[in-house]
Amino acid sequence: MYDKYHKPQVASPNISGRLIAVGKLWKRLLLGVVVLLAVRLLIVDHSSSRERVGKSETMPEQDGAFINFKPSKFNPKQRPSSLNITGGRESSGNKSFAFPSFDQVLFPLPKLNDINDTGKYQQQSADTSSPKKRVNRADAQSQAYIKDMMIHAWGSYVKFAFGKDELRPQSKSGKSWIDGSGYAATVLDSLDTLWIMDMKEDFEIARKYVEDQLTFDVQGGVSVFETNIRVVGGLLSAYDLSGHKIFLERAVQIVERLLPAYNTKTGIPNSMIDLHSGSSYRHGWTSGYVLSEYGSMLLEFQHLSDLTGNQTYEQVAMKPMDYVLGKELSIKGLYPTNIDENGQWVSGQYTVGALSDSFYEYLLKLWVIGDMKDSKWRHAWDESAVAIEKYLVGKTQSGDVYLTSGTELWKSDDMEHLTCFAGGMFALAARTLEDEYTDRWFQLGADLTETCYKMYKTQPLGISAEKTRITDYNAIVKYYIQRPEAVESIFYMWRYTHDEKYRQWGMEIAQAINKCCKVEGGYTGLNDMTADPLQRNDQQESFFLAETLKYLYLLFSDDDLISLDDYVFNTEAHPFLKRSRLQK
Ligand code: DMJ
């Protein structure tokens, strides 16, 4: 499959020809070394001058341009001491020479001193200032394959369940999470995917629904978190992409209805709310408030504040984040999954899967969407990443790396599909900051992504379980509900490496889904992904259209389509423009 990149073979030369060729090779090597040394010197000189600029920035706090700079709080060299750093790049304290990689020469990543460097940071992004010639990387045939899946999933929803929250593909009917039609979750979750796949007529059908029929005045409890990531997220990204004001108006309406959930002792929102009455309450099925739920609100609320100028939304969602980030932890960087209404941690178990996942994701993404200026987020994420690696990352005897749950004393040997988002998260962290952890996080991202691919590949139907024991790839929790996390990480790895294997992995997964889950009325999940004959679950998740199909499509698209330089994906794969890209 790499043959098309191979240079044509030449006939083998005789001995003297070989000697001449070797001589030429040495000359070239020597020249290369001299050029690299010169470039390296330029970079060292450049970074030391940036360091000088950085120091002067620490001075006047009243200077608006440097308002967020907190050098005393965030010193990357003061890393948690528990970690034994191996194989990183040179630190600024150790000037031993290392050749810069090709990427470093062309697109040097910012160092921490650049973080508050008002704009210089973003201008270094590859797509805007790169001298490199643009390469169109779209694979039109594979894109069409994925788009066909979306046409079938969306078309079936329109035909059998339009206006309901979800489609039941086998019974060809609709399903609502609450009374009546619910709030049309699949319409709102699908808007940006329709736009990105250039399904403009369908987008128009959805837009008209949002304009003329959508109502949030519905009775019955809905999840504050799910409403936020799917409904608010879907509306805001539809607004960012299309500019239609109605999406922003609707986002304001739904967030106003969510706000009463924040009237609690600690400012941590209740998990459930009745959108009609505004009365809110905690889940019955778990104690206290859930980390991934209250910790995955700020990206959306902040974006809404940025777009409307109303700071209330950001302030309200900031409060619980500041509250938990300021709390004492038994293990620095690891946050218990639950907290009670008095602000006491409830469990002593840690995970990056269910109940925690997107909290960690948002620590990083809050930093990235803010153009890497507010170092409090990156600092918190860094601390978490170090602890996650130490306590929750495992390696099997055959070398497969996985991310699991555990306590201070033990860790499990399984991995949830939900946790598979972490491959992309570690890759994103590595590609947005250069420090001694860069290579390490990127490798961890790549390793986790590969394990998640194997969670599909090793199964009889090519479909992953909800939870897999990684030592032998035995399915432990056997249902499959069209989750996106594996293809999400595959998408990030593709964008950052352009290694064809990632596209191959994504296509294998797409084909397996088509084989097992496509029915006349849409796409179903499976009650048991090992069962023969198939045990379908008659459920088409809204995140199948919002995330799984979107990440698969973007995997085969050109890098410019939702460029990672310009957008940050919320945890439901809704792309938001970075703060610096918003028109003031
Ligand atoms: C989605 O709603 C989001 O990705 C969320 O963060 C986790 N669960 C589902 C998909 O698995």
Q: How far is the CA of 271 from the centre of ligand 1 (A)?
A: 16
Q: How far is the CA of 570 from the centre of ligand 1 (A)?
A: 10
DSSP string of 428-483? HHHHH--STTHHHHHHHHHHHHHHHHHHHHTSTTS---SEEETTTTEEEE--B---
Q: What burial class does residue 26 get, using C-beta atoms within 10 Å of its C-beta: 0-12 exposed, 13-18 middle, 19+ buried?
A: exposed
Q: How far is the CA of 101 from the centre of ligand 1 (A)?
A: 35
Q: Which of 58-62, 134-138, 489-493 has the highest mean pLDDT?
A: 489-493
Q: Which residues contact 110 (CB under 8 A, 6 or more apart)?
A: 117, 121, 124, 372, 433, 434
What pLDDT score does 132 carry? 62
What pLDDT score does 283 carry? 87
Is the beta carbon of 356 within 6 A of some atom in ligand 1?
no
Q: How far is the CA of 483 from the centre of ligand 1 (A)?
A: 7
Residue 47, amino acid: S
What pLDDT score does 28 carry? 54
Is the beta carbon of 361 within 6 A of some atom in ligand 1?
no
| Residue 247 pLDDT greater than 90, yes or no | yes
Ligand 1: which atom is nearest the Cα of residue 418? 11
What pLDDT score does 185 carry? 98
Q: Write the pLDDT tens digit of every residue in 460-476.
A: 999 999 999 999 999 99
Ligand 1: which atom is nearest the Cα of residue 421? 4
What pLDDT score does 178 carry? 84
Is the beta carbon of 162 within 6 A of some atom in ligand 1?
no
For residues 563 and 5, the model is more confident at 563
Q: Write the pLDDT tens digit of every residue in 306-345.
A: 999 999 999 999 999 999 999 999 999 999 999 999 999 9
Is the beta carbon of 295 within 6 A of some atom in ligand 1?
no
CA distance 482 to 488: 12
- Which strand (E) or helix (H) includes residue 203? helix 200-212
How open is the CA angle 497-234-278, to the nearest 5 degrees? 140
Active site residue 211: no
Q: Write the pLDDT tens digit of every residue in 395-424.
A: 999 999 999 999 889 999 999 999 999 999
pLDDT band at 347 (very low <50, low <70, confident <90, very high): confident
Contact indicator for 479, 528 with CB cutoff of 8 Å: yes
Q: How far is the CA of 62 from the centre of ligand 1 (A)?
A: 41
Helix (H, G, I), strand (E, B) or coil at 33: helix
CA distance 61 to 50: 19
Atom 6, ligand 1: residue with shortest CA distance: 571
In the predicted model, what is the mean pLDDT of residues 115-122? 32
Q: Which residues contact 76 (CB under 8 A, 6 or more apart)?
A: 112, 382, 435, 436
What pLDDT score does 110 carry? 44
Is the beta carbon of 374 within 6 A of some atom in ligand 1?
no
Is the beta carbon of 571 within 6 A of some atom in ligand 1?
yes
| Catalytic residue chosen out of the listed positions 300, 466, 547, 572 | 466
In the predicted model, what is the mean pLDDT of residues 93-102? 30
The mean pLDDT of the chain is: 83
| Residue 219 pLDDT greater than 80, yes or no | yes
Atom 2, ligand 1: residue with shortest CA distance: 572
| Residue 43 pLDDT greater than 80, yes or no | no
Q: What is the pTM of this model?
A: 0.80
Is the beta carbon of 358 within 6 A of some atom in ligand 1?
yes
Range 100-108 contact pairs with CB under 8 angstroms and sequence separation of 24 or more: 100/36, 100/39, 100/40, 100/43, 104/43, 104/434, 105/36, 105/39, 105/43, 106/130, 106/131, 106/132, 108/43, 108/46, 108/47, 108/434
